[in-house]
Structure 1
Amino acid sequence: MKILFLSPYPAYPPRGGGALRIWNLLRGLAQHHDITCLSFAPDAAAVAALAPMRAHCRLATVIGPPPRRLTQRAWTTLASPLPDLALRNATPAYREALSRLLAAERFDLVHAASLEMADYGLLARQFGVPLISLDQFNAEYLLQRRAALSDLRRGVVGKPRALLGGVYSLVQWRKLVAYERRVVRDYDRVLVVSAEDRAALARLAPQASLHVIPNGVDTGYFAPGVTDQGIPTDLVFTATLDYRPNIDALVWFVQQVLPRIRAAQPGVRLVVVGRAAGPAVRALHDGEAVFVVGEVDDVRPYIGAAAVYVVPMRIGGGSRLKLLEALALAAPVVSTPMGAEGITGLKDGEHLLLGATPAEFAAATLRLIADRELGCRLGAAGRAHVVAQYDWQAIIPRLEGVYGI
């Protein structure tokens, strides 16, 4: 089958949840199918970095999307019926490149990776492509709903910046409801990463063809035994650090949970690893309780050294690739219930510990610091679960089944 992937950003190097998903689905399908990828790339250096993808697909790139000024985003928030996500990657250069590709070749399937690319995928209808598919990384309206409610509650208690963010998310939430309802109805297949996201989108469009293709992990690469890097009481958080739900999780943990932990265990420190740390994240670094390491070539030594890997998510959707990586490495994990959402079969006390409130999260973390044997048991069970259910090699046949190939 000839498949055209539409990518909103470089999938290689595969850093960040979206890039990891695109890369692993593309690479898996390329084992048996002819893949072309048309990808945005911010500059020539990013295009050069995509070179390893050429071993798996034919690659075409468009420089962009052009940056949007804050004033532009503010105006479209007020004036456009479209959500910000639908405008983020809108550029004539990509549409022209896609039209040329579709006119020159016959593709059996166009796979639009993420809601940002939804309108481009629909363009394939005009060129007679028999099957178009949208890969929804999140039920985006649900993510913005959660963000709006969280920020508006904080704004009510005297945090003006949170109030402003809440108003923005409220507007985006309402726009996304209308946009996602329309888009998922127009696609032949819509992929979602969890049963929760499928249910959320089915509420908008009951007739949509929704299929769960979960996020996965390379359990051969993320396997116990890498060299540890840290001290025995480290708590570790890994994430893309400019993503709003991750910032919210980190700030909540540092302000509400970590002081409770250090009151009982003063030597505990939080190590934060990930790319694109902005001012809000860098300001948390104090060289004593919180260390913001930033981007590293390999996260495995940090996760492997963790006394506890923490997933303090309070907003968001989909499923957590970072949690799958930690489970594959057999790390002891404490998560909020929302942080573990989307990974079917995870059980509190069997694969990880859950804590919904600051007190519960702190107590679970202290329990694992004190009981290393429990952490080892949970870690082993967590790894066994993701090896059986969430290795990418087990997911690709499910995707081929959805596509009938």
Structure 2
Amino acid sequence: MSDILFLAHRVPYPPDRGDKIRGFNVLKFLAARKRVHLVAFADDRRDMGSDSGLTDHTSIIWRGKSRAVAALQAMLTNRPVSLAAFDDDAVRAAVSTVLTTHDIDTIYVFSSQMAQYVPTDTTARVVMDFVDMDSAKFAGYGRTQAGPMGWLMRREGRLLGTYEAKVAARADASLFVSDAEAALFRDQTGAERVFAIENGIDTDTFDPDASFVPIDLPPRTIVFTGQMDYRPNVEAVTWFADEILPLVRKSYPDAGFAIVGRAPTDAVKALGKRPGILVTGEVTDVRGWLAAAAAIVAPLKLARGVQNKVLEAMAMARPIVASAPAAEGIDHADTIAVGETAEEIATQIIAILSDPDAARVRGMAARRQVMQRYGWDARLSPLTALLAQAIGPRAHRDAA
């Protein structure tokens, strides 16, 4: 039986942030069916030398290239910064070792930055898991930002979009996290063999009745969870603190806001100096914070694909208010409240705080929806058919 080579831009375990959650569950799904060899970057020293027990061979390479160096290399070579940042000879050597010492019939590429390591002459099946359309994200940044940084974002969106289209043309399957994201990619690139493989959620772990350490919060605390050096999350909590929370406090002056997640930027830390706003930094278990919240918010102005933070809150049976972009990729069956403007989001939060019983009923409905719709085995089951397909003729794999 031939093996799978899994390429990841970040070690996909422990599954404690959005991309690692998807990566880990895909890896687990594949490893239950075939022998898998992993080559991945690490950007957290705690991940160096870690082992999931799921793979036969693992190579973890430290990604220490600075953003400044990556940007300079990208400018000199007319490449997207995203590619230059992940260009590494040690990874290239590790990939070569696996391909020459093992019978690999499938290369699973997690995130477009890793597609540069797929050899042009490979006969293996190539499954490209883009997750989100990153070029659209950077193009969105470029439309809203002026000056040199806006120019850099527009450049990244343009070059990365061209690269994504080339990668899809030479892959046997291109995967995205939602039907909307897959449709956007098809529309903008004309690519074929594009499929949606949605994210799931571990509803046994994220269960209000599971065992976890409880957190004591004031009764009207509103909670946001996420990686707090990720630009859309930073923008979301800033918008909430500046414009939405003051509206809520007109009805409930004691309403608080807890920003829960690792690596808060200086801008996020500054929010924690305001009355009633708590910035936690990294926590060992987010479930206690979710369970203690009067409401969970996901006020992202820019969001791509499926938001794990929303699925986790739904699984924990919490009342949720999300922006339209944050809710777009999720089949929530109206179990979460959605708002477009600061006023609409504030109104939805006030309604939750005003009627805790109704909020509790809606939270339980959200959990039922997640259990019916978002189990990982069900979400990943289409991979079985993709991996079983015969490898047919494909475009020449020119270096992307």
Same-fold status (TM-score > 0.5):
yes
CA spacing shift, 1:67–1:248, aligned 2, 3 Å: same
| CA distances 1:219-249 after superposition (whole Å, capped 9, x unpaired) | 1100112554222211000001111111111
Aligned equivalent of 1:134: 128
How far the C-alpha of 1:252 sits from its partner, in A, is: 1.1
CA spacing shift, 1:73–1:57, aligned 2, 3 Å: closer
Aligned equivalent of 1:254: 241
Aligned equivalent of 2:40: 39
The partner residue of 1:306 within 293, 297, 302 is: 293
Q: Secondary structure at the match of 2:271?
A: coil
Matched, 1:93 2:90: yes
The partner residue of 1:351 within 335, 341, 364 is: 335
Q: Distance in 2 between matches of 1:197 and 1:400?
A: 21
CA contact (8 A) 1:147 1:316 kept: no
Deviates further, 328-337 or 225-234: 225-234
Aligned equivalent of 2:260: 273
Alignment gaps of 5+ in structure 1 = 153-162
Which one-letter code corresponds to 1:370 in the other structure? Answer: S
Q: Distance in 2 between matches of 1:59 and 1:326?
A: 35
CA spacing shift, 1:367–1:45, aligned 2, 3 Å: closer
TM-score, normalised relative to structure 2: 0.91
CA contact (8 A) 2:70 2:85 kept: no
How far the C-alpha of 1:65 sits from its partner, in A, is: 2.1
Matched, 1:9 2:10: yes
Which one-letter code corresponds to 1:60 in the other structure? Answer: T
How far the C-alpha of 1:328 sits from its partner, in A, is: 0.6
Aligned equivalent of 1:147: 141
How far the C-alpha of 1:73 sits from its partner, in A, is: 4.1
The partner residue of 1:331 within 318, 339, 356 is: 318
| CA distances 1:245-287 after superposition (whole Å, capped 9, x unpaired) | 1111111111111111122211111111111112121111126
| CA distances 1:311-338 after superposition (whole Å, capped 9, x unpaired) | 0010131210111111111110000000
Q: Secondary structure at the match of 1:335?
A: strand
CA spacing shift, 1:217–1:278, aligned 2, 3 Å: same
Counterparts of 1:284-303 in structure 2 under 5 Å?
284-286=271-273, 288-303=275-290
CA contact (8 A) 2:105 2:123 kept: no
CA contact (8 A) 1:29 1:396 kept: no
Q: Secondary structure at the match of 2:280?
A: strand
Aligned equivalent of 1:61: 59
Q: Distance in 1 between matches of 2:312 and 2:198?
A: 14
How far the C-alpha of 1:399 sits from its partner, in A, is: 1.7
How far the C-alpha of 1:342 sits from its partner, in A, is: 1.1
How far the C-alpha of 1:119 sits from its partner, in A, is: 1.2
Q: Distance in 1 between matches of 2:46 and 2:289?
A: 28
RMSD value over aligned CA atoms?
1.8
CA spacing shift, 1:379–1:275, aligned 2, 3 Å: same
TM-score, normalised relative to structure 1: 0.90
Matched, 1:193 2:177: yes
Q: Distance in 2 between matches of 1:5 and 1:74?
A: 27
Matched, 1:384 2:368: yes
Q: Distance in 2 between matches of 1:324 and 1:34?
A: 30
CA spacing shift, 1:199–1:127, aligned 2, 3 Å: closer
Which one-letter code corresponds to 1:18 in the other structure? Answer: D
Alignment gaps of 5+ in structure 2 = 390-400
How far the C-alpha of 1:28 sits from its partner, in A, is: 2.0
CA spacing shift, 1:256–1:164, aligned 2, 3 Å: farther
Aligned equivalent of 2:153: 169
CA contact (8 A) 1:146 1:316 kept: no
How far the C-alpha of 1:398 sits from its partner, in A, is: 2.0
The partner residue of 2:220 within 233, 248, 255 is: 233
Percent identity between matched residues is 29
Q: Secondary structure at the match of 2:324?
A: coil
Q: Distance in 2 between matches of 1:126 and 1:65?
A: 26
How many corresponding residue pairs? 385
How far the C-alpha of 1:112 sits from its partner, in A, is: 0.6
CA spacing shift, 1:223–1:45, aligned 2, 3 Å: closer
Which one-letter code corresponds to 1:365 in the other structure? Answer: I
Aligned equivalent of 2:27: 26
Which one-letter code corresponds to 1:321 in the other structure? Answer: N
Q: Distance in 2 between matches of 1:139 and 1:181?
A: 10
Aligned equivalent of 1:158: none
| CA distances 1:145-181 after superposition (whole Å, capped 9, x unpaired) | 22222334xxxxxxxxxx4443322221111221111
Which one-letter code corresponds to 1:174 in the other structure? Answer: R
CA contact (8 A) 1:103 1:127 kept: no
Which one-letter code corresponds to 2:93 in the other structure? Answer: E
Q: Secondary structure at the match of 1:314?
A: coil
How far the C-alpha of 1:2 sits from its partner, in A, is: 1.7
Aligned equivalent of 2:202: 218
How far the C-alpha of 1:372 sits from its partner, in A, is: 1.0
How far the C-alpha of 1:111 sits from its partner, in A, is: 0.3
